Structure 1
Amino acid sequence: MSISAHNLVWGVRHKTIVADVSLSVAPGETLGLIGPNGSGKSSLLRLLAGLKQPLSGRVEILGQDIARVPRRTLARQVAFVQQNAATDTNVSVRDVVRLGRTPHRSALSGWSAADEAVVSAALERVDMTGHRAQAWQTLSGGERQRVHIARALAQSPQVMFLDEPTNHLDIHHQIEILRMVRDLDLTSIVALHDLNLAAMFCDRIVVLKAGAVVDCGTPDAVLTETLLRDVFRVNAEVCAGPIPCQTHIRFKAA
Structure 2
Amino acid sequence: MTVTASHLIWGVRRRTIVSDVSLSVAQGETLGLIGPNGSGKSSLLRLLAGLKRPSSGRIEINGQDIAHVPRRLLARQVAFVQQSAATDTNVSVRDVVRLGRTPHRSALAGWSAEDEAAVAAALARVDMTDRRAQPWQTLSGGERQRVHIARALAQSPRVMFLDEPTNHLDIHHQIEILRMVRDLDLTSIIALHDLNLAAMFCDRIIVLQGGRIIASGTPETVLTRALLRDVFRVEAEISLAPQGGAPHIRFRAD
The corresponding residue for 2:94 is: 94
Structure 2 CA distance for aligned equivalents of residues 22 and 187 of structure 1:
17
Whole-angstrom distance in 1 between the partners of 2:245 and 2:34: 16
- In 2, the alpha carbon distance for the partners of 1:145 and 1:40 equals 22
Q: What residue number does 1:119 align with?
A: 119
Relative to structure 1, the CA distance from residue 243 to residue 199 in structure 2 (aligned partners, 3 Å threshold; closer, same or farther) is farther
Q: What residue number does 1:73 align with? A: 73
Match of residue 229 from structure 2? 229
Correspondence for 2:252 = 252
Q: CA separation in 2, counterparts of 1:249 and 1:239?
A: 7
**Which sections of structure 1, spanning at least 5 residues, go unmatched?**
none
Q: Which runs of 4+ in 1 moved over 6 A?
A: none
Counterpart position of 2:146: 146
Output aligned runs, 1:1-254, within 5 Å.
2-254=2-254
Structure 1 residues 127-186: Cα deviation after superposition (integer angstroms, max 9, x where no partner): 222211111122233322221111111111000000001123232222222122112121
CA offsets 1:35-58 (integer angstroms, 9 cap, x no match): 000000000000000000000001
Deviations 1:54-77 (A, max 9, x none): 000011001100000000000000
Would you say the 8 A contact 1:218–1:244 is kept in 2?
Answer: no
CA contact (8 A) 1:225 1:236 kept: yes
Q: 1:162 to 1:95 in 2, by over 3 A?
A: same
After superposition, the Cα gap between the structure-2 partners of 1:243 and 1:75, relative to the gap in structure 1 and judged at 3 Å, is farther
CA-atom RMSD in angstroms: 1.3
1:108-136 Cα shifts (integer Å, max 9, x gaps): 22222221122112212222222111111
Contact residue 198 and residue 205 of structure 1 kept, 8 A: yes
Count matched residues.
254
Equivalents in 1 of 2:138, 2:246: separation in Å?
36
User: How high is the TM-score relative to the length of structure 1?
Assistant: 0.96
Q: Read off the aligned partner of 1:106 and give its amino acid letter.
A: S
When normalised by structure 2's length, the TM-score is 0.96
Contact 1:31 1:202 in 2 (8 A): yes
The answer to which of 240-249 and 46-55 deviates more is 240-249
Please give the secondary structure, in 2, of the residue aligned with 1:83: coil
Identity %: 80
